[in-house]
Amino acid sequence: MTSAGPSVVIIGGGIAGLVCAARLGQLGINNVTVFDTGKNGPGGRCSSRSVNINGRIHIFDHSSQYFTVSDNRFAKIVSFLHSKQAIKIWKGDIGHLKKGKFEKDLTLTQAFVGTNGMNSVASSLASLINAKHNTWVSNVVWEDTSKKWKVDRYGYFDYLVIAHNGKCADKLMANAGVPAIHKLLQVRFSDKLNPKDQRMHLCSLWVLMVAFSRSLNLAYEGAHVDDRDISWIANNTAKLSETRSPQSPSNVECWTVISTKEFGSANKVPQENIPPNKAREVTNKMLTAFANVTGIKEGLPETCFTRVQLWGAAIPLNVTRGPDECEFDGIHNVGICGDWLVSPCIQGAAISGLSLAERIQKHAFKQGTLAQSTSLESAFRGTDMESIGCFPTDPKMIFNPPSK
């Protein structure tokens, strides 16, 4: 869709970038293009894998596992996603596994998941906007004379949104002509936060997708785990099916196992090119840890599928300190959004995207103080989180699905 309003390019089609684009559209800015590297579609760290096991397609959530709600603005998005049947409430038991004992998380009000894997969230948002996937943007430059951003071979845009982090964003913005924005994007990879180092810290996590030939008959469906090597396990088969029938033609049970950040650092390799012997080693270690924490002493059933993936830039250990939920430079028409500006979770990414869209709209139409730049100060604070991110809840905020 084109319009007479300003043109906006968003680099990164994770939740932050997709929400930013959708909100810009709601605010009357429709000339928005999102570029994302995802081969099969946008989504970034909110995506799933479909795998053919013995002739049947099984879905694994290989990044985000579930999300919670504690913010009214995000609650509206959740309500929209539910109306589009993109999400559902995860009704199975979720909790903590300590020394082989499962304790249900009693602080958890509601957990949401994609109806067809977490990808449903991203594809529902992407259906509202102009998103181009399988596209890597490697060069952007601010042109002072035209007051526009030149973006690779894709032309000129009035506003640039950086909706990704890690090495890519650091490199992309190093010579873009906006040093304050680049400073914010500089990154350190570590499993430990060094509060003296005022840079974004990102940890790495391994994910094991494993299918067993029969059900493990565990009483819970998802658990944060107290273990040296693994930090989370979830039964995708139970999570994603409304009802499980013992007569189901497939007895295969698909699990996601996520490492600790320490294990991520200790076993780091190039994520695009994992050596086969490292993949085998990581698979074996994570399966051993899985057997230990679940207490399946007699040994795990036969596996019919295993695959590992390394998220090199998995979870931010710190977030920006300032009051703003995004950063925006109103001189050079460039903004940044992402989980690391609010809270490392789906809600945090969505709020950051919303916030940046509102800034851009105010700036474009010269409305009030939000039209100005944010502090652009590179100052960070640690977050209190599980290995796989934050799960903020508010007991007063319960979503009641409308009756059909």
Closer CB to ligand FAD, residue 221 or residue 339? 339
- Whether residue 64 contacts residue 146, with contact meaning beta carbons closer than 8 Å, is answered with no
Taking CB under 6 A as the criterion, the residue among 6, 8, 10, 14 binding ligand FAD is 14
Q: Where are the alpha helices (DSSP H) in 14-135?
A: 15-26, 72-83, 119-126
Closer CB to ligand FAD, residue 121 or residue 211? 121
Taking CB under 6 A as the criterion, the residue among 9, 60, 67, 285 binding ligand FAD is 67
Binding flag, residue 357, ligand FAD (CB under 6 A): no
- Whether residue 250 contacts residue 305, with contact meaning beta carbons closer than 8 Å, is answered with no
Smallest distance, ligand FAD to C-beta of residue 6, A: 20
Binding flag, residue 311, ligand FAD (CB under 6 A): yes
Binding flag, residue 160, ligand FAD (CB under 6 A): no
Binding flag, residue 125, ligand FAD (CB under 6 A): no
Q: What is the 3-state secondary structure (H, E, C) of 50-78?
A: EEEECCEEEEEECCCCCECCCCHHHHHHH
Taking CB under 6 A as the criterion, the residue among 8, 10, 15, 287 binding ligand FAD is 15
- What is the C-alpha to C-alpha distance for residues 131 and 124, in angstroms, rounded to an integer? 12
Exposed/middle/buried for 313, CB within 10 Å: 0-12, 13-18, 19+? Answer: buried
**Binding window for ligand FAD (CB under 6 A); candidates: 185-193, 339-347, 367-375, 396-404:** 339-347
Taking CB under 6 A as the criterion, the residue among 26, 76, 91, 136 binding ligand FAD is 136
- Distances 225 to 65, 67, 233, 260, 303 between C-alpha atoms, Å: 14, 17, 7, 9, 21
Binding flag, residue 346, ligand FAD (CB under 6 A): yes
Angle between helices 72-83 and 119-126 (to 10 degrees): 90
Binding flag, residue 12, ligand FAD (CB under 6 A): yes
Closer CB to ligand FAD, residue 36 or residue 229? 36
CB environment 114-134: b (16+ within 10 A), e (fewer):
bbbbbbbbbbbbbebbebebe
Binding flag, residue 129, ligand FAD (CB under 6 A): no
Query: Which residues are at the interface with ligand FAD (CB under 6 A)?
Result: 11-17, 35-38, 44-46, 63-67, 136-137, 163-164, 168, 172, 205, 207, 258, 311, 314-315, 338-339, 344-346, 348-349, 388-389
